[in-house]
Structure 1
Amino acid sequence: MTTTPEILRYAAFTDLPTGGNPAGVVLDASGLDDAAMQRIAAEVDFAETAFVTGRDGDAYALRYFSPIAEVPFCGHATVATAVALAERSATGALRFATPVGPIEIVTTRGADGITAAFTSVDTDLAEFDAPTLERTLDLLGLDAGALSSVLPPRLAFAGNWHPVLVVDDARAFDGFAFDPAEARAFMDEQGWPATITVLHPIASADAGGPRRFEARNVFPVGRIAEDPATGSAAAAVGGYLRAIGAVVPPALVVIEQGRHVGRPGELVVEIPPSGGITVSGRAVPIPDDVG
């Protein structure tokens, strides 16, 4: 008889268990096969559940499952796993062996708790072809005229490919809507395993602080339609901004996300001159009596 391992629940990129992005975490999944991990992820019913399946040298082997399928990488579940490990041992540097390659993550303890910062794999950028961009806009009910004139739509990679659209108009950003089933079918057709990322600029670096964006991330899986806080997308956005010359590295960008689904959170994005993007945030346990 197989014993079900302990399943932890954390909210990432927030200080509150009711904010940010919930993730399941299984710290000992060494006895689980793929079907068991998929079943647990469906039962947890968060955007992703992370499974530590063993050790690969000095790295923890980590896999990620949404309620419907395995995904190559998940930033918020990586942060949640790192914080869970640090709470049970000590803070410091960790390495995760993930399906997209090695991920370096550093945990630090402050007065308000533990922060985790992961560095993504190297980034990449690709152009939309015109028909795919048109279909993406149609899916979201967005007019091409709502898109930024200086931050063009692109496909950005930092472990997962994310379409990135920047919408200048606040009403268009707040008001776009989509059919989850149609979005899921379209994203599967395009081979986009994670989210469609829509950004709205809310503060420039000239205002005296880091450049800030608000994000909405389309991610229809199970009962979820829109992701509250997406670490992999934040890393992809960092790579996107660097590649199009919208920031001068080293640069700091803050992404607010989750307001539209009632779970606000914040992701801090550090953009170096080259290589992976560092995304950091807090994670806190979700009590059994909190949804």
Structure 2
Amino acid sequence: MTRGEVRLLRVFPERPGGGNPAPIVADADGMSDAEMQAVARAYGHESGFVIGTPEGFDLGLRFWVPNHEMEMCGHATVGAVWLLDRLGRLPRDEVKVWTRSGPVTARVSGPTESRLVEVTQDEGVVEPVSDDGVAAVLDVLGLSAEQLAAAPVRNARTSRVKTLVPLRSMEILDGLRPDFSRVEEVCERIGSTGLYPYAVESAAGQVFRARQFPRSSGYPEDAATGIAAAALCFGLRENGWVGDGPIRVKQGQAMGSPSEILLRFRVGGIWLGGRVHVG
């Protein structure tokens, strides 16, 4: 690969054609901020850039969306590690990764044709949203209080704060038509980087459906959001809705890009992961 060459991947696909598109540059050392942002703007998606290895790490990653740089992006990390593994450039199956939000561990497992990539996130922090904040969230999403499930609206974070909005059904979730012109204002008001409404698909199977409406990324909705899914798991645990077993978060169905994020609690945090296809 040459410096600045972009590989388009689809990360967390539930089936072919699904997942979140992720432009990845495996040789980004020396690229300027403007050049990185130009890639994200050209593709219209969160983009990952492998940079020179900082001391004490196996690789370094930077992330851009069309509007700004991000400190951490779960699906772009998964995509970048998968690509380096495919290119034979991953030094081992478990690596320490530098990001602007702090170090994460990534690991790959499984047969070559269907590698699973997982990334760590630290223990989540879950906090209440004020009554006024909840009212603003419901208004921007076009919801009534009666459409909420029997759990609080909460802010949760591992790397970034996401607002968890529990809904009574997947039909309500799929039917959401937010007022996108006001999402940024409401997120700023409640200290969030995105609204993450969700519903139960299978309580026994610990399967949940979600949608992500980011605060100011430069696009209205995300097909798969690993950081939000990780935050959701800690909110679900606060609800008493999940145990220690694996959790699946499905996203992107309403966009025609079905995705599935696999999550497992670990001591001190959580693993988030999934599969990757070439875009």
**What's the TM-score, normalizing by structure 2?**
0.91
Q: What runs of 5+ residues in structure 1 fail to find an aligned partner?
A: 287-291
Partner residue in 1 for 2:53: 55
User: Shift in Å at residue 92 of structure 1?
Assistant: 0.9
User: Shift in Å at residue 123 of structure 1?
Assistant: 1.2
Distance in 1 between the 2:219 and 2:139 partners? 21
User: What is the 5 A alignment of 1:26-41?
Assistant: 26-41=25-40
Distance in 2 between the 1:172 and 1:86 partners? 40
Q: Contact 1:181/1:220 (CA < 8 Å) preserved in 2?
A: no
Which of the residues 251, 263, 268 maps onto 2:262? 268
Distance in 1 between the 2:72 and 2:223 partners? 16
User: What is the 5 A alignment of 1:121-140?
Assistant: 121-140=122-141
User: Shift in Å at residue 283 of structure 1?
Assistant: 0.7
The 3 A distance-change label for structure 1 pair 222 and 93 is closer
Q: Contact 2:121/2:271 (CA < 8 Å) preserved in 1?
A: yes
| Superimposed CA distance per residue, residues 203-247 of structure 1 (whole angstroms, 9 cap, x where no aligned partner) | 112xxxx31111111136677321111111111111222234332
Alpha-carbon RMSD across the aligned residues, in angstroms, is 2.0
Structure 2: which amino acid aligns with 1:147?
L
Distance in 1 between the 2:82 and 2:265 partners? 22
Q: What runs of 5+ residues in structure 2 fail to find an aligned partner?
A: none
Partner residue in 2 for 1:77: 76
Distance in 2 between the 1:19 and 1:221 partners? 23
User: Shift in Å at residue 65 of structure 1?
Assistant: 0.8
Aligned residues, how many? 275
Q: Contact 1:93/1:106 (CA < 8 Å) preserved in 2?
A: yes
The 3 A distance-change label for structure 1 pair 83 and 200 is same
Partner residue in 2 for 1:283: 276
Partner residue in 2 for 1:289: none
Q: Contact 1:239/1:271 (CA < 8 Å) preserved in 2?
A: no
| Superimposed CA distance per residue, residues 224-274 of structure 1 (whole angstroms, 9 cap, x where no aligned partner) | 3211111111111112222343323x22211111110010011111123x4
Partner residue in 2 for 1:116: 117
Distance in 1 between the 2:207 and 2:60 partners? 33
Q: Are 1:239 and 2:234 an aligned pair? A: yes
Q: Contact 1:242/1:271 (CA < 8 Å) preserved in 2?
A: no
Structure 1: which amino acid aligns with 2:263?
V
Distance in 1 between the 2:250 and 2:6 partners? 28
Q: Contact 1:167/1:173 (CA < 8 Å) preserved in 2?
A: yes
User: What is the 5 A alignment of 1:194-213?
Assistant: 195-205=194-204, 210-213=205-208
| Superimposed CA distance per residue, residues 155-180 of structure 1 (whole angstroms, 9 cap, x where no aligned partner) | 11011100001101333222121122
Where does structure 1 differ by over 6 angstroms across 4 or more consecutive aligned residues? none
Distance in 1 between the 2:149 and 2:191 partners? 25
Structure 2: which amino acid aligns with 1:216?
R
**What's the TM-score, normalizing by structure 1?**
0.88
The 3 A distance-change label for structure 1 pair 261 and 117 is same
| Superimposed CA distance per residue, residues 112-168 of structure 1 (whole angstroms, 9 cap, x where no aligned partner) | 42210111123111110111111011000011111111x321111011100001101
Distance in 2 between the 1:255 and 1:162 partners? 15
Report % sequence identity: 29
Q: Does the residue aligned with 1:277 lie in a helix, a strand or coil?
A: strand
Distance in 1 between the 2:15 and 2:173 partners? 25
The 3 A distance-change label for structure 1 pair 222 and 55 is closer
Distance in 2 between the 1:6 and 1:171 partners? 41
Distance in 2 between the 1:148 and 1:111 partners? 41
Distance in 2 between the 1:167 and 1:211 partners? 16
